[in-house]
């Protein structure tokens, strides 16, 4: 009879342990659902940001103009910008709205024009 009581007690303890494990498993599964949902949201936002960055890069490049054969013997961007603007005005008769200038070599550079329309005019 004592063995039967001991067996019942052992079974109760085991059932409590199993119930605790089930509760823990349910909490874990709920946390995993939440994390998966957050992960999916982050992926969507990352894709949106990637698209936005790509669009901004294309827009920035869209206004760029590469020039070659125009020799400037300085690294001063403001001076290069001034000379390039004057050159375009003299040779092409177009008032250029140059935003920035980057020198790529002794006879090559990139002009970032303020608007795409101004780039088309040049």
DSSP 18-82: HHHHHHHHHHHHHHHHHHHHHHHHHHHHHHHHHHHHHHHHHHHHHTEEEEES-------HHHHHH
Residues 56 and 67 in one domain: no
Residues 80 and 45 in one domain: no
The predicted-structure confidence for 75-87, as pLDDT tens digits, reads as follows: 787 888 888 888 8
Last residue of a domain, one of 62, 82, 110: 62
pTM of the model: 0.53
Distances (CA, A) of 38 to 34, 35, 41, 48, 72: 6, 5, 5, 15, 54
pLDDT at 32: 98
Residues 108 and 75 in one domain: yes
Residues 52 and 27 in one domain: yes
Question: What does the block give as tokens for 80?
Answer: 């290069």
Q: What is the CA radius of gyration of the chain?
A: 35
Residues 28 and 85 in one domain: no
Q: How many domains does the chain have?
A: 2
Residues 39 and 28 in one domain: yes
Residues 68 and 49 in one domain: no
Q: Which domain holds residue 71?
A: 63-121
Query: What's the rounded Cα separation, in Å, for the pair 84 and 61?
Result: 19
The predicted-structure confidence for 36-47, as pLDDT tens digits, reads as follows: 999 999 999 999
Question: What SS3 state is found at 122?
Answer: coil
Residues 30 and 81 in one domain: no
């Amino acid at each position: 009879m004592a063995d039967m009581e001991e067996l019942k007690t052992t079974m109760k303890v085991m059932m409590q342990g199993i119930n605790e494990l089930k509760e823990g498993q349910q909490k874990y599964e709920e946390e995993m659902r939440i994390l998966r949902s957050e992960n999916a949201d982050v992926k969507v936002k990352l894709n949106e940001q990637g698209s936005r960055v790509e669009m901004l890069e294309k827009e920035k490049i869209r206004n760029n103009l590469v020039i070659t054969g125009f020799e400037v013997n300085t690294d001063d961007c403001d001076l290069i910008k001034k000379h390039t603007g004057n050159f375009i005005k003299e040779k092409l008769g177009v008032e250029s709205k140059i935003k920035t200038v980057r020198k790529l070599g002794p006879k090559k550079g990139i002009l970032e024009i303020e608007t795409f329309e101004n780039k088309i005019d040049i």
